[in-house]
Chain A
């Protein structure tokens, strides 16, 4: 009987740990959303031949390159810390990139080095928050809307990213201040209405 009680106790412990892992993820994310600073990461046009990823859309940002001193050697996959600030239009801008974590009162995110171009003295980086999950039926249309908006420089297309203590969180993707989910719903509704019109005539 003692043995039994011990097993049950251990199981309860294991169950708590199993709950703790996703719960901590929720807590940390909510903290970032609540207390973090919101940055608008302007999106870059994606090469249309990128493979469609299904349940999420892939994001690429304007600020994924930065001018550097060519005397330094950067390795592919190396972790770097990107200090953020805002430009005159309200979009996120890279203030500096370093190999060490900045001090506490500066907003930064972690990123990985994609490659360094000595010719143009630029460092190309990859942000970890490059996915925005969407419900399956909307994902494809959303990605198309996103591509079109990103390529068209007149449109205001950006990802709203909350940052706290170096932890980033993509809150939403907006095209001309309309959240992309709503935009897709609107587009689909408009398309359906147009079809109805056509079939009537």
Chain B
């Protein structure tokens, strides 16, 4: 790559577009850049190397397992743990500044801790409770995240506690155990905050911006106890919260792929709304008759209240300086949904109609925004929302085939027309310029 740069630079110098001093500056700049990407590779390979070494050792030992005495098996069970601790200690004392060392050491020790506990369980045939194992494993490794300032450790921890939450939450266990997850999640937030302050543009920050919302997406369901239908409302508020976080100016200057919150919030909201646009859902919830007090004091109800307050507060603070029309429309969906849900428990038809209207309006507004911002992607995304809506109604209702056919043809024509119009507009603008 450097050769190409040199030839390009010489060509530019000859054409007298840049002078030699600028050329040297450009070369220095790119050298610095490649240095950064090389560093990242080293870190990645450090982590991968540690992972593979750990797995390899495990496999070799597993093969010869039966011939060993209980004592030698126990010693072997502790070996990776002690080795990992030595490496981690070394990384802490002598290699503090090396990200590769810290991340690699934490990853290795993380798996070593899990391996030693599970090996001992196997040696002694100790009856295993996956939930307790995961919880112990996570708690034992949490301090490492802060001692070694390791983001790989943080991500592994979050995955671990999410697995723990779903393991205890989706089984016939004591329901009060699910609340541990939230406490354990709180414990990792300081590290997340540190990433936000010190390395906001790093890949680790991006990974966290995806892993945290995905984790919450799974674990919120574990809160459900008796009133499952209420979880839909909680999820709309959670997704709304994600989306609003995603609209924060922190993400505005970054690539769209970095914004896990906005992506999950938008996609999640539209998909969830689409699945709620079927009349059978509203028939279902109309049947249930709980008092408002019962609903509000249930775990699901509390989740709804907390999430809605959080989303509403952020919605206000992030957008108070903006005119209403500048706020992204999806941000308001969760506010609309709660009264819709309430109305729907009394009049299912109303709930059904309103949700469909919301999706229709969202689709149309997205198309319009795409046209305004001259963004084919956004405009077509809006069209896809409309297509999704129509497709759902296609499977839902008893409208005649002719009508459905006409609807789809109209939609297809709409796709062609809007795209053609947009591309034409660009052509005429380019001509005019």
Residues of A within 8 A of B (CB): 7-8, 10-12, 14-15, 17-19, 21-23, 25-26, 29, 55-56, 76-77, 128-136, 138, 168-170, 181
Contact = CB atoms under 8 A, between A and B. Distances in A.
Interface string B115-127: 0110111111111
With most chain A CB atoms within 10 A of its CB, the pick from B77, B89, B125 is B125
A5 to B, nearest CB: 10
B130 to A, nearest CB: 12
Interface stretch (B140-148, B305-313, B339-347, B374-382): B140-148
Contacts of B140: 14, 17-18, 21
Contact of A18 (B81, B93, B119, B124): B81
B120 A11 contact: no
Given A22-B77, A26-B124, A169-B126, A14 B144 contact: yes
24 contacts: A11-B92, A14-B140, A14-B147, A17-B140, A18-B85, A19-B82, A19-B85, A21-B136, A22-B77, A22-B81, A22-B117, A22-B119, A23-B78, A25-B124, A56-B122, A77-B172, A129-B127, A131-B125, A131-B127, A131-B128, A134-B66, A136-B62, A169-B124, A181-B66
B91 to A, nearest CB: 10
B74 interface: yes
Given A21-B136, A23-B78, A133-B123, 7 more contacts: A10-B143, A10-B147, A11-B89, A19-B85, A55-B122, A77-B173, A138-B66
B318 interface: no
B92 A25 contact: no
Contacts of B89: 8, 11-12, 15
A14 to B, nearest CB: 4
Contacts, number: 79
Contacts of B123: 133
B143 A14 contact: yes
A22 B65 contact: no
B368 to A, nearest CB: 55
B245 interface: no
Contacts of B82: 19
A135 B62 contact: yes
Contacts of A133: 122-123, 125
Contacts of B120: 22, 25-26, 29
A22 B137 CA distance: 11
Contacts of B116: 22
A8 B93 contact: yes
B113 interface: yes
Contacts of A23: 78
Nearest to B144: A14
B161 interface: no
A169 B127 CA distance: 8
B274 interface: no
A56 B140 CA distance: 27
B389 interface: no
Contacts of B74: 26
Given A10-B143, A181-B66, A128 B127 contact: yes
Contact of B126 (A8, A12, A17, A29): A29
A177 B232 CA distance: 58
Contact of B121 (A11, A25, A136): A25
Nearest to B142: A14
Given A8-B92, A8-B93, A135-B62, A29 B172 contact: no
A22 B78 contact: yes
Contacts of A17: 140
A19 B62 CA distance: 21
Contacts of B124: 25-26, 29, 169
Contacts of A12: 89
Contacts of A134: 66
B306 to A, nearest CB: 30
Contacts of A138: 66
Contacts of A132: 125
A8 to B, nearest CB: 6
Nearest to A128: B127
A76 B81 CA distance: 38
A170 B117 contact: no
In the A-B complex, the 9 residue pairs with the smallest Cβ-Cβ separation, listed nearest first, are A128-B127, A29-B124, A170-B125, A14-B143, A133-B122, A135-B66, A15-B85, A22-B120, A135-B65
